[in-house]
Structure 1
Amino acid sequence: MDAVSRPAVAELPVSDPVLIFALAMIAFLVAPLLFGRYRLPGIVGIILVGAAIGPNALGVLERDATIVLLGEVGLIYLMFVAGLEIDLDGFFEGVDRSVVFGLLSFLVPQAVGTVAGVAVLGLSIPAALLFASIFASHTLLAYPVVNRLGIATDEAMTATIGGTILTDTLALLVLAIVVASAEGALDAAFWAQLGVGLTLFFVGVWVLVPRIGAWFFRTVNEESYFEFLFVMSTLFVCAYLAELAGVEPIVGAFLAGLVLNRLIPAHGTLMNRIEFVGNALFIPFFLLSVGMLVDARAIAEGPRTLLIAGVLIVSVLATKFAAAWIAGRLYGYSADQVRGMFALSLGQAAAALAIVLIGFQVGIDGFDQEMVNAVVLMILAVSVISPAVMERAGKRIALAGERSDYDPADRAQRLLIPFADDSDNAEGLVDLALAIREPRASDPLRAVTVVEPGEGADARVARAEATLDRTAEYASGAEVPLKSGTRLNYNVASGIVNAAVENRASTVVIGWDGARSREQRVFGEVIDQVLRRTTQQVLVSRVREPLGTARELVVLFPPGIAHNAGFGEAVHTVKTLADRSGTRVRGVVVGDDPRRYERLFEGVEPEIAAGFEGVEDWKALLEVLRDDVSSRDLVVCLSARRGTVGWHPQLQTLPKSISTLVDGDFVVVYPASAERADDRRFLRLR
């Protein structure tokens, strides 16, 4: 038998296809997780890893034909997803303002960038036009901040989000014209051919694809992966037709995303598959491919890269702010709204990378290694600046807005109670859930226990089932049905989060013993993860005594919590708890006007006797908890998730302080927030 030849692991660059793929997968996994710890987009991490292991640095991998092919597929896929994720409803809702801001956000950077390209960098006019289009578009890197703060419906934010369609489309058209001109003269025949080709292409795709798509989704009932294959076929056919029309394939991919936008539900199974495949495989290969073009030695050896990066960064900051300022003056937006528009339109990623890469590959004058390096530096800079400015401005926008009165009838209540398999306080959690349950609610309570697989799992499942059986019997005494289940998951928090989604829970009631854990930040590893990965209202409780024995409900209001998206629902929950337990409410407001909170409190049903007082700061609040709260009082603290409106660093340690200073029961209520922070979608570019 012949000996099997084995590749030499130490050979560089790596040539074994299995090892190349393995290294790529490790980069896609580690880089976003590492950069996420420092609140930087995962795209930056993968680009920098590509630069480090590419031919211009360590030389671990070559940018060979396979990497180039996968990178081009990833670029096309990236622009397709960008088209799919654009909010067409938001665009048409305020179409006039979206169009005006979109034009301003494109024309101002395009004009200034063209002049800077010619005057400062010495580029030709076509190259300067392409240079300006790099930052004339924008990618909504700060959109997760907008969504988390609950200000996506703000008029200024809606105009900015809608304007993305125009800025990206116009920037890609500039790319198409410049690239086409590089391959021929800009004469009448060129413009006629380009005009006719683009018209036929746009009209054909815009008219035919939605009709074919609607017919396909109505008539094909086979395995669901056929839907995904249909979408992929449409994507790459449109990309190829764009090439035939004389423009870059990414224009066709972007248009394909726009025309399929309404046919693919934003939160459906098909969209999840599209994003999963793109975020896990295709888009990271594009980013890795771009990173391999970066040459860190060029930055150190000459000033031109830094000069280009400086021009890009200064230009994008100045022109995007100018566009936001002009729009703000036209429509009477506040200074914070202007700063929010600036921050949201400042982000650069998808279109910028596409334009510089294609310009480099086609050989446009001035689009060399140094230009690629400079664009990567610009993306890194705005990736830090854009979310940071949006965070500050967004919180002020949220604080300036008024929350509408909460109506319990607007949303069906569904309560989920996660138990540990050996829980000794299941009855207390059920009592709390029953106390906040709507009087006319028809849905049963839902209970779940998540058990980690492995040695002893059978015994833990048996204990969990016994606990759930006792809990169901206890709940039946109140004539309330309880549906329960046990699930296996290596991550307990993931099991709870998945159960909340599957049961469409509106509120999660979870217990905490007050003990400090090794991985503790607020409560401990499991509860902290649940809070971070859910948007539902969450009640974290330590309930040892019957709720009816409480003398008074002491409710703590941190400063700014009233502007939280779920504040009304949280107040309704607290008042329902007070009503069911027959206790009077004593509101303690930290660093804010207690009369304002009293008015807000009275505006939510049911009617409850309450008195409000204010304390100056957090230190004074801890003194109240230590000296003026009895073991017979039930303490309820309204808190906020990290990064949402109303968050203060003191809220991280407040639960532990309450558990130490208060001998009685307490509940920490986290109002529903606007966005679920899904760890898997690290590459989302909106």
Structure 2
Amino acid sequence: MIRPAVSGLPVSDPVLVFALAMIVFLAAPLLFQRYRLPGIVGVILVGAVIGPNALGVLERGETIVLLGEVGLIYLMFVAGLEINLNQFFENADRSVVFGLLSFVIPQAAGTAAGVFVLGLSVPAAALFASIFASHTLLAYPVANRLGVVGDEAITAAIGGTILTDTLALLVLAVVAASAQGALDTAFWARLGIGLVLFFAGVWVLVPRLGAWFFRTVNEESYFEFLFVMSALFVCAFFAEVAGVEPIVGAFLAGLVLNRLIPEHGTLMNRIEFVGNALFIPFFLLSVGMLVDARALTEGPRTLLIAGVLVVSVLVTKFAAAWVTGTLYGYSREQVRGMFGLSLGQAAAALAIVLIGFELGIGGFDREMVNAVVVMILVASVVSPAVVERAGKRLALAARETDDPGERPQRVLIPFSTASEHGERLVDLALAIREPRSAEPLRVLTVVEPGEGASSRVARAESTLDRVTEYTAGAEVAVDTQTRLNYNVASGIVNAGVENRITTFVIGWDGARSRRQRVLGDVIDQVLGRTSQLVLVSRIRKPLTTAREVVLLLPPEIDGNAGFAEAVHMIKTLADRTGVGVRGVVVRDDSRSYERAVDRIGPNVDADFEGVPDWKALVALLRDDVSSNDLVVCLSARRGTRGWHPELGTLPKSISTLCSGTFLVVYPATAERADDRQFLRFR
């Protein structure tokens, strides 16, 4: 098809429009980061320069507006996905307090300023205040890039966004209904019932549908991505039906799908990649194209309104962050991070002022619209800069708490060419992998030499190629090795020594061999000839579909040298799958185990109970553990502290009684230099 030559501005050819957008997304962040400025500021400012209010290279038409709205929805969804749910719910009061303060303080101050400074009526002043009482997580990509999203204060700021924006948009709905004369009982009934049905429906239905999908669909991974996108935009649409903005539905969708999508897995990486490379930059470009620098020259009233907006948003948002930080003892940098995140203004502010303008509410004229655009520009520059500075210091402080003498975690996955669950074994390794580790995953196959060895090596290499391709989606380096050895266990043990492995992740099919003692001839040999942490797993379902972790603790296992490291790994797995821990202690005092486990990080909800003997444990597994539970037995090697003869038959009992996924964890028998690295006070 022959396209007409491009003539004049703005550019209208869709291919060239998209090409220019890609160039902006590539060049602007690189240029601004070179001068130590956040890359997202570059996209916003370049959007202002090439937009309709400056050079006019691009028009803010339907395509840009659509992609910009999709980008904002996507941004809120990713924010919900990346929140640490255990921390979020444990500290939900902090999100609620910050959300209320970051709405109430700006709303009260803005209403007063609207009445006494700008001479607006009370309803118009309330709508004016809601413009900056809301906020948009413009600087979220900065916090995400710096790795501080998991900080308690940053989590509170992100979680508070949903409450702040919902309240601000409810003010808009109420004032708009009042202006149209529809503020009656029927309005309140529709709004209340709609919100209750929406929140309850999403919270109940979406996680169940997601768990079913991930358990039953084993096709190409892009189907998982398409399912997530479908859930996201359906939730966003029904939020509109319920009477709130789509961003509320997007954030809620992120929360309910959070535990089904591993934080460091392949699917999460794909979601972040698409958002960071495409949708979110379109949102930033769309915001930049709103800016009209000429608005500052249109008269003193525009300057007055813009000044009131800028000063109000800076003062009130900082006040909300400072009060929250004082209440909960946050550091100066945490307060600044909260302030920076809550300072961003974009879609919600623009939607409020434009609707007020269209409804003809007194004072909402063109000058008001231009003043809001100026505020958006100022917030778009200041918000990422504040988060960048605070986030770097928070990230540095987090790194300084790491023990510089700690031995780096090195994970080895021995693979059988006959394995049918290789991808899920890799998912387990990714789930326990330290997030800042620079070490690759070591993946090994051991082939017996002799006749037909060449074809067996070829099959092994084909298996390793599939593992490498799968792991590449999570952007984790993989070191693959194929070894020839008459004794498979010797090949695994030798690889562990040569690569200085700290953790073995081994799959088990649950079957017994004639020569095995506990798990299998090869696995038993590996356990007997190693001292490192070993995870033996039978994985039948995605880890993220687990309802809870059922942790089995034999008597005196807490005296094992590697107890703290093993518990840290188990709690990390629970934390990343978003579930709690149910500890079952055999014969020992459950309260002492609860105290010991509670001291070990990360912070995960854990309840403990005791059973009098091994028979009672087997009965509990049979009667009180479902196929949706992740059963983890913290075992011990023969001759080490915590070993009991019953542990020799327990794995087979678990495989018989539990149809779901289970792990048998053998702590390291050689004590690390300092187990304090696993304690929560660190």
TM-score, structure 2 as length reference: 0.54
Paired letter, 2:11: V
Give yes or no for contact 1:79–1:350 (8 Å, CA) kept in 2: no
Paired letter, 1:118: V
- 1:210 Cα shift? 1.2
Give yes or no for contact 1:312–1:378 (8 Å, CA) kept in 2: no
Give yes or no for contact 1:54–1:63 (8 Å, CA) kept in 2: yes
User: Who is 1:67 aligned against?
Assistant: 64
**Residue 325 to residue 47, structure 1, CA distance change in 2 (3 Å):** closer
- 1:444 Cα shift? 11
**Residue 240 to residue 179, structure 1, CA distance change in 2 (3 Å):** farther
- 1:370 Cα shift? 0.5
- Report whether the alignment pairs 1:205 with 2:202: yes
- Report whether the alignment pairs 1:340 with 2:337: no
- The correspondence for 2:287, drawn from 283, 286, 290, is 290
User: Who is 2:47 aligned against?
Assistant: 50
User: Who is 2:348 aligned against?
Assistant: 354
- Report whether the alignment pairs 1:327 with 2:324: yes
**Residue 446 to residue 155, structure 1, CA distance change in 2 (3 Å):** closer
Structure 2: which 5+ residue stretches go unaligned? Answer: 413-438, 444-471, 481-498, 500-682
- 1:176 Cα shift? 4.8
- Within 1, Cα distance between the matches of 2:393 and 2:406? 31
Identity among equivalent positions (%) equals 70
User: Who is 2:272 aligned against?
Assistant: 275
Question: What's the RMSD between the two structures over aligned residues?
Answer: 4.4
Give yes or no for contact 1:105–1:136 (8 Å, CA) kept in 2: yes
User: Who is 2:229 aligned against?
Assistant: 232
- Within 1, Cα distance between the matches of 2:159 and 2:440? 41
- Within 1, Cα distance between the matches of 2:385 and 2:101? 21
- 1:269 Cα shift? 1.8
**Residue 305 to residue 285, structure 1, CA distance change in 2 (3 Å):** farther
- Within 2, Cα distance between the matches of 1:259 and 1:160? 18
- 1:169 Cα shift? 4.2
- 1:350 Cα shift? 6.5
Paired letter, 2:230: S
User: Who is 2:100 aligned against?
Assistant: 103
- Within 2, Cα distance between the matches of 1:110 and 1:200? 27
SS of match in other structure, 1:62: coil
- Within 2, Cα distance between the matches of 1:109 and 1:96? 20
Paired letter, 1:502: V
- 1:304-355 deviations in Å (ceiling 9; x for gaps): 444333323322332233223433443455xxx1453144233357664333
Give yes or no for contact 2:344–2:383 (8 Å, CA) kept in 1: no
**Residue 5 to residue 217, structure 1, CA distance change in 2 (3 Å):** closer
- 1:372 Cα shift? 3.9
Paired letter, 1:382: V
**Residue 446 to residue 199, structure 1, CA distance change in 2 (3 Å):** closer
User: Who is 1:370 aligned against?
Assistant: 370
Paired letter, 1:286: F
**Residue 214 to residue 133, structure 1, CA distance change in 2 (3 Å):** farther
**Residue 271 to residue 53, structure 1, CA distance change in 2 (3 Å):** same
User: Who is 1:502 aligned against?
Assistant: 478
Give yes or no for contact 2:350–2:373 (8 Å, CA) kept in 1: no
Note the 1:239-250 alignment, pairs <5 A: 239-250=236-247
Give yes or no for contact 1:140–1:345 (8 Å, CA) kept in 2: no
Give yes or no for contact 2:410–2:440 (8 Å, CA) kept in 1: no
- Within 2, Cα distance between the matches of 1:275 and 1:445? 21
- Report whether the alignment pairs 1:309 with 2:306: yes
SS of match in other structure, 2:12: coil
**Residue 147 to residue 28, structure 1, CA distance change in 2 (3 Å):** closer
- 1:129-182 deviations in Å (ceiling 9; x for gaps): 344344434556677887899877766555445544433443444455455656
- Report whether the alignment pairs 1:116 with 2:113: yes
Give yes or no for contact 2:81–2:254 (8 Å, CA) kept in 1: yes
SS of match in other structure, 1:92: helix
Give yes or no for contact 1:305–1:373 (8 Å, CA) kept in 2: no
- 1:256-300 deviations in Å (ceiling 9; x for gaps): 222222222222222222222222222222333333332222223
- Within 2, Cα distance between the matches of 1:59 and 1:154? 41
- 1:627-665 deviations in Å (ceiling 9; x for gaps): xxxxxxxxxxxxxxxxxxxxxxxxxxxxxxxxxxxxxxx
SS of match in other structure, 1:377: helix
- Within 2, Cα distance between the matches of 1:16 and 1:147? 34
SS of match in other structure, 1:80: helix
- The correspondence for 2:214, drawn from 217, 221, 237, is 217
SS of match in other structure, 1:18: helix
- 1:228 Cα shift? 1.4
Choose 385-394 or 146-155, whichever is displaced more: 146-155
Give yes or no for contact 1:309–1:378 (8 Å, CA) kept in 2: no
Give yes or no for contact 1:294–1:372 (8 Å, CA) kept in 2: no
Note the 1:572-611 alignment, pairs <5 A: none
Paired letter, 2:349: I
- Within 2, Cα distance between the matches of 1:321 and 1:97? 16
Note the 1:77-96 alignment, pairs <5 A: 77-96=74-93
- 1:192-211 deviations in Å (ceiling 9; x for gaps): 11111111111111111111
- Report whether the alignment pairs 1:15 with 2:12: yes
Give yes or no for contact 1:51–1:291 (8 Å, CA) kept in 2: yes
TM-score, structure 1 as length reference: 0.54
Give yes or no for contact 1:47–1:288 (8 Å, CA) kept in 2: yes
**Residue 33 to residue 356, structure 1, CA distance change in 2 (3 Å):** same
- Within 2, Cα distance between the matches of 1:22 and 1:402? 43
SS of match in other structure, 2:289: helix
- Within 1, Cα distance between the matches of 2:152 and 2:233? 36
- 1:594-627 deviations in Å (ceiling 9; x for gaps): xxxxxxxxxxxxxxxxxxxxxxxxxxxxxxxxxx
- Within 1, Cα distance between the matches of 2:350 and 2:163? 19
Choose 250-259 or 350-359, whichever is displaced more: 350-359
User: Who is 1:387 aligned against?
Assistant: 387
Structure 1: which 5+ residue stretches go unaligned? Answer: 415-442, 448-495, 510-686
Paired letter, 1:107: V
- 1:31 Cα shift? 1.9
Give yes or no for contact 2:441–2:478 (8 Å, CA) kept in 1: no
- The correspondence for 1:30, drawn from 27, 31, 39, is 27
The size of the alignment, in residue pairs, is 429
User: Who is 1:647 aligned against?
Assistant: none
**Residue 132 to residue 7, structure 1, CA distance change in 2 (3 Å):** same
- Within 2, Cα distance between the matches of 1:168 and 1:122? 25
- 1:65-85 deviations in Å (ceiling 9; x for gaps): 333333333333233233323
- 1:232 Cα shift? 1.6
- Within 2, Cα distance between the matches of 1:499 and 1:218? 24
Choose 176-185 or 191-200, whichever is displaced more: 176-185
- 1:246 Cα shift? 2.6
**Residue 346 to residue 182, structure 1, CA distance change in 2 (3 Å):** farther
**Residue 132 to residue 254, structure 1, CA distance change in 2 (3 Å):** farther
Note the 1:152-191 alignment, pairs <5 A: 159-160=156-157, 162-178=159-175, 185-191=182-188
Give yes or no for contact 1:353–1:375 (8 Å, CA) kept in 2: no
Choose 54-63 or 227-236, whichever is displaced more: 54-63
